[in-house]
Chains A and B, each alone.
Chain A
Amino acid sequence: MTDTPLELIRNFSIIAHIDHGKSTLADRLIQACGGLTQREMQAQVLDNMDIERERGITIKAQTVRLNYKAEDGRTYVLNLMDTPGHVDFAYEVSRSLAACEGSLLVVDASQGVEAQTLANVYQAIDARHEIVPVLNKVDLPAADVEDTKNQIEEIVGIPADDAIGVSAKTGLNIEAVLDALVKRLPPPKGDVNAPLQALLVDSWYDTYLGVIILVRVKEGRIKKGMRIRMMFNGSTYNVEQVGVFTPHMREVESLGAGEMGFINAAIKTVADCHVGDTITDDKKPAAKALDGFKPSVPVVWCGLYPMDADDFEKLRESLGKLQLNDASFHYEAETSAALGFGFRCGFLGLLHLEIIQERLSREFDLNLIATAPSVVYHLFKNDGSAEDLHNPADMPDPSYIDRIEEPWIKASIMVPDEYLGAVLGLCTERRGQQIDLTYVGTRAMAIYRLPLNEVVFDFYDRLKSATRGYASFEYQMDGYEESDLVRISILVNQEPVDALAFVAHRSVAESRGRAICAKLKDLIPRQLFKIAIQAAIGSRVIARETIGALSKDVTAKCYGGDISRKRKLLDKQKEGKKRMRQFGKVEIPQSAFLAALKIDR
């Protein structure tokens, strides 16, 4: 089993846009190779988590080893590496791709090429993959095979003459795909006798087995009982299990160069497993690690607070449990005057943030308040020191600051040309710099550099509504640049509401400050006293709104029988006051801040 000659192995991944049929195609391939019986075929085998299946996004890398009897009569081992499918996980995608020699590029023939596909296919090209274009859904009336081929050649820049037309749904032409994998993809290289070099592709926490690591052996051999060493930090572990997914977990004695599978080495938490790390033999270590390792760094931060203060401990436990399986998100306790006790959390991107938030509410039944997302700024102080800033509330007084740098991204946006004007307008409004603009047929692709903080501020929502959902968006980090950034504080009756503070470019500070003040004016109920809402940079007020005092609130009729009822009503109101925050004489319901935070995104 593990002694498969290299020339009989093919390692491949599937690149596709959400909904273009990646998971369905994977299911068909597994089925065609007899990996699962009909009864076991649950729709979309690879997407394990509910959220993955619902959103059609793969969060964790998965792998399946298939046995395929080809035309030449020989049985090949086809290792399918399913990659995470979102821009936030670009680095994870790159490591998954680094574990393979080729890719299937799946494009929905009725939809055409999307920006996200493009980003991943470029990564595959960078990983020197042999790429086989597959046109899916060719059985649909709306399919346009020729135009899609044309798009692949024009936009992606790879030949598409021999693209394979399939229908993953009906199983049409699946054999041709398997045949192409064998004939067109190169077999892996490597020397089973060299010192061990295995790429750590992903890891996750299994309740029964502990941490499971997905590996691709590049050189040498990994065996049960071997003492392995993580080359990033030198920690060592005993390999207790080695195996492959068929897609069921099946133990094997060892995995040799060119193969992929899993190991279980009694590792306590996934935080000890760094995606992209090199695993080697502790007794006979490799001279150097594999290229391309990068520790994961959160790029988007926000505060998460329980709606019910009593849930703080539950939130702490839940975050801990989630981190068992996802070392890429960070959390630390923080306190907010407006929202109480909570956590400052760091994510790989906005989608990652949403997924974690959704899992907290769904799997742990928590009601959460999230503050507006913030990016990580590089702050250089007058005294020569430097620090990373991801909580606007922590920003020092401008007089201490020498300069601030903000992160930029390079974004690709694909959109039907009727919406192009709106997209360009949005990018310009968000301080974007146009790099390139190309057309293929009636679709345009705009490449922009944008400050990330403009993207975390409701950019997706605006893009979606401006293009009726037809735009696709992809980005990669593109360095830091100095910028004229200010912290805008929101004050209620002269007291700052820490949870609403945000950092923005000076050019948009005033309009954003005004917008938040106006929103709060609508959200905060009138009270006995006037309420002043202000937005300020330092001590300079840039926007203000006043909520007038309540002019009448009195019960007309109140006699003997009503005393008990009115007292109980007052008691209830007092209970409600626990959810209020005091600002001078007035009390603001937490729900108003919550609503303000919701609209911001």
Chain B
Amino acid sequence: MKATIQHTQQGIGLYIHWPFCLAKCPYCDFNSYVAEQIPQEAYAKALVQELQTTLAEIPKVPLTSIFFGGGTPSLMLPSTAQRLIDTATSLLPVSENLEITLEANPTSVENQKLKDFYHAGVNRASLGIQSLNPTALKALGREHSVGQAIEALTIAKKIFPRISFDLIYAREGQTIQEWEGELQEALALTHDHLSLYQLTIEPGTIFAKQYRQGKITLPDEELSTAMLTTTEMITNQYGLQAYEISNYAKPGAESRHNLTYWKYKDYIGIGPGAHGRVTLDQTLYATERHKNPVKWLEHVQQNGHALSVKEALTPAEKAQEMLLMGLRLIKGVQAQQFERRCGMALTDAVNMSMLSALVEENFLSWDQECLKTTPQGRLRLNAILEALLK
């Protein structure tokens, strides 16, 4: 009985993956495909089907957020979004302030669809602007212009109550002055939320190949550190605060859906390659869907879902996951919540002598209740996790 109450308190998020794009960006390692003709109806039907099958199997906990990600989900028909939102909200109780986010690219075709998505139920737009510098947009392989980006923002502001957009910085050849200028320009256009990512080279991308061949270089550690520090300072001046390593928001405007990931709460993943973390009978399961869209579609058509992995997570695995996500948050990880979620004490999950060394070095702060990174520690989170986790 108690478990149900907790679920009620916690709620659940829903992630829906749309795998198609107009073009593959050279830095992107997400599960996305360029298709000449998107079989809209087949995929819409399959997504609805998979959602129905999945929701039938989980407890009726309140839905806190829906996130359409991709790929480029703004390439789906607004009616598809409508059908999915209707399905989810009819099968699950809906929490107050249900957040429904759509990732959109600022091309003119997509700009025109924004209003229809709003009418379908989307109440938050996340625009993939990436840069306000024309040369950089080209280098990043983006299909839109600076003008279209600004147009998209202007349109979206009139439509959606909440808007975020992405920028990629610490790009090849970028100086700190150039970035400060671009960031200030962006902040003037910002509504209440920004995702500011430093460019990283992901394995398997076009950039990774070029990087190996020495065709592209990235700013050195010193410069990228300075860029991160200056970013936090400038966003602060505009009233936006970092709440995660790469995410900045006005108080209360944080992405509810993404917080679900970082706080390591339950979420359902629907669509090709989508991951989920779902509690069933007090056991937390990691779920995965078939990655390849064609395969995924076949499975859904045959079985009503395309689940490829469903494995119960051990306390140790949960502990690892909760820490590697939670320490990304400025507020860190609460010991009590940690123990409740993972079934083991935070102090048993980490190497305590390393913890005190890291605290001494001013990389972590720990007061027996909350473990969090310091600004210095955030810069080195990967190495800290590697050292800290048992």
Contacts of B363 in A (CB 8 A): 528
Q: Are A554 and B321 touching (Cβ within 8 A)?
A: no
Q: Are B357 and A585 touching (Cβ within 8 A)?
A: yes
- With both beta carbons as reference points, the residue of chain B lying nearest to A527 in the complex is identified as B383
Q: Are A559 and B258 touching (Cβ within 8 A)?
A: yes
Q: Is B142 at the interface (CB under 8 A from chain A)?
A: no
Q: Are A564 and B288 touching (Cβ within 8 A)?
A: yes
Contacts of A560 in B (CB 8 A): 15, 260-261, 267, 269, 275-277
**Known: A561-B273, A570-B386. Contact between A555 and B200, CB under 8 A?**
yes
Contacts of A574 in B (CB 8 A): 389
Contacts of B378 in A (CB 8 A): 554
CB distance from B57 to the nearest CB of A (A): 19
Residues 166-199 of chain B, each 1 if its beta carbon lies under 8 Å from chain A, else 0: 0000000000000000000000000000000111
Question: How many residues on chain B are close to A (CB under 8 Å)?
Answer: 49
**B264-283 at interface with A (beta carbon < 8 Å):** 267, 269, 273-277
**Known: A556-B197, A556-B246, A561-B269. Contact between A528 and B389, CB under 8 A?**
no
Partner of A551 from B200, B222, B274, B324 at Cβ < 8 Å: B222
Q: Are A567 and B321 touching (Cβ within 8 A)?
A: yes
In the bound complex, how far is the Cα of B373 from the Cα of A553, in angstroms? 13
Residues 73-101 of chain B, each 1 if its beta carbon lies under 8 Å from chain A, else 0: 00000000000000000000000000000
In the bound complex, how far is the Cα of B286 from the Cα of A563, in angstroms? 10
**A546-576 at interface with B (beta carbon < 8 Å):** 550-561, 563-564, 566-567, 570, 573-574
Q: Is A470 at the interface (CB under 8 A from chain B)?
A: no
In the bound complex, how far is the Cα of B384 from the Cα of A585, in angstroms? 12
In the bound complex, how far is the Cα of B385 from the Cα of A559, in angstroms? 16
Q: Is A400 at the interface (CB under 8 A from chain B)?
A: no
Q: Are A528 and B358 touching (Cβ within 8 A)?
A: yes
Q: Are A564 and B379 touching (Cβ within 8 A)?
A: no
Partner of A563 from B225, B324, B381, B384 at Cβ < 8 Å: B324
Q: Is A122 at the interface (CB under 8 A from chain B)?
A: no
Chain A interface mostly: loop
Q: Is B146 at the interface (CB under 8 A from chain A)?
A: no
Q: Are B275 and A563 touching (Cβ within 8 A)?
A: yes
Q: Are A551 and B379 touching (Cβ within 8 A)?
A: yes
Partner of A561 from B224, B274, B328 at Cβ < 8 Å: B274
Contacts of B269 in A (CB 8 A): 560-561
**Known: A551-B221, A563-B277. Contact between A558 and B328, CB under 8 A?**
yes
Q: Is B387 at the interface (CB under 8 A from chain A)?
A: yes
CB distance from A580 to the nearest CB of B (A): 11
Q: Are B381 and A555 touching (Cβ within 8 A)?
A: yes
In the bound complex, how far is the Cα of B361 from the Cα of A124, in angstroms? 70
Contacts of B228 in A (CB 8 A): 552
Contacts of A563 in B (CB 8 A): 261, 275, 277, 286, 321, 324-325
**Residue in B273, B276, B382 whose Cβ sees the most chain A Cβ within 10 Å:** B382
CB distance from A568 to the nearest CB of B (A): 10
Residues 40-79 of chain B, each 1 if its beta carbon lies under 8 Å from chain A, else 0: 0000000000000000000000000000010000000000
Q: Are A570 and B385 touching (Cβ within 8 A)?
A: yes
**A527-557 at interface with B (beta carbon < 8 Å):** 527-529, 550-557
Residues of A within 8 A of B (CB): 527-529, 550-561, 563-564, 566-567, 570, 573-574, 585
Residues of B within 8 A of A (CB): 15, 30-31, 69, 197-200, 221-222, 224-225, 228, 245-246, 258, 260-261, 267, 269, 273-277, 286, 288, 317, 320-321, 324-325, 328, 354, 357-358, 361, 363, 378-387, 389
A-B contact pairs, 23 of them (CB 8 A): A527-B383, A528-B383, A528-B384, A551-B379, A552-B221, A552-B379, A553-B381, A554-B379, A555-B245, A556-B197, A556-B199, A556-B245, A558-B324, A558-B325, A560-B15, A560-B260, A560-B261, A560-B269, A561-B31, A561-B274, A563-B275, A567-B324, A570-B324
Across the A-B interface, give the 9 residue pairs with the lowest CB-CB distance, nearest first. Answer: A556-B197, A561-B275, A554-B381, A560-B261, A556-B198, A553-B382, A553-B383, A552-B379, A552-B225
